[in-house]
Amino acid sequence: MSEVKYNYKSLEDYLTSNPLTVDRCFDDGWGAKFPVKGIELNASVLFADITSFSKKTLDLNPIETLIYVNNFFSWISAEALMHSHGLIDKYIGDEIMVVFANEFGSEDHFIDALKTARMMMQYDALDFSPHIGIASGHVVIGYVGTPLKYNCSVFGLPVMLAARCTSVRSNCLKSIVFPESCWKSNYVFKDIFPSIKWYNSKNELYKESDSGWQKKEARSVELKNIGEKSIIEIICNTTHIPSISAPEIAKIYFSEFKKNSQYHGYNHND
């Protein structure tokens, strides 16, 4: 693969910087025209959503829920995606969808998606405990909508597979789920989920411990609207108990809004 020379900031950035592989205009049969424009490529799609979102936000008012969700997205974008080659497709409620491709800078887009998922779980300081699903394959990145209102998004079976994989429940709080077909025979688990190394003040290695991650044997599950699929789970048994929870932080921030007269909306009861 040729060296990636462009640092894309968004899917639209990628589309406007490259020649389209699909570029046609169709008639809807009633005289209205609609365009179909996009680029086909192989990619990996990652879905992540907050575990028990409804339960965790049950006692939050709408503004506090907005704070809570944006805290989650900000943390993922700043921590897990900062050093990856993933591009955020969209935010959907409490979900985030990220796309990885060699064209975006990856040497192996599935491995990059897997490493990003590990970062999302491993540095989850506020215990969002996201469900994460990944799938790879042929997709199209295209413009969706009309000339009056459009977005850029990704379409293809990997999108549906990744989303369905987030619904596979495990006995472990931290799990990454993907179709068995994504795991290649030459992959080395410890290269992707390395041991944790501890260094002293002189930057000397003095301790090395197991990562805590484990790849389980493939098993068949029934995925909604897809049918039976062989999937692999990568789980982590280590847990983190934060000193303050994300819902509590949302309540504190909302109180600060009111205290500093920065909130001029609905009169919520304390």
Structure tokens of 89? 């497709």
| 152 within 8 A of 141, measured Cβ to Cβ | yes
Q: What percent of the chain has pLDDT over 70?
A: 89
pLDDT per residue as tens digits for the range 130-151: 899 999 999 999 999 877 788 8
How many angstroms separate the CA atoms of 111 and 32, rounded? Answer: 43
How many angstroms separate the CA atoms of 245 and 247, rounded? Answer: 6
pLDDT at 133: 96
| 132 within 8 A of 46, measured Cβ to Cβ | yes
Cα end-to-end distance, the chain, whole Å: 58
pLDDT exceeds 70 at position 5: no
pLDDT exceeds 60 at position 1: no
Q: For all residues of the chain together, what is the average pLDDT?
A: 86
pLDDT per residue as tens digits for the range 28-87: 888 788 889 999 999 999 999 888 888 889 999 999 999 999 998 888 877 667 778 899
Domain ranges of the chain: 11-173
Query: Tokens 């205290």 appear where?
Result: 259
pLDDT per residue as tens digits for the range 159-193: 999 999 999 987 777 899 999 999 999 999 989 98
Q: Which helix (H) or strand (E) holds 74?
A: helix 62-75
How many angstroms separate the CA atoms of 141 and 156, rounded? Answer: 9
CA angle 265, 266, 270 (to 5 degrees): 115
Q: Which amino acid is at 8?
A: Y
| 127 within 8 A of 240, measured Cβ to Cβ | yes
Nearest partner of 167 among 114, 231, 99, 238, judged by Cα: 231
Homologous superfamily of domain range 11-173: Nucleotide cyclase, GGDEF domain (3.30.70.1230)
How many angstroms separate the CA atoms of 70 and 227, rounded? Answer: 34
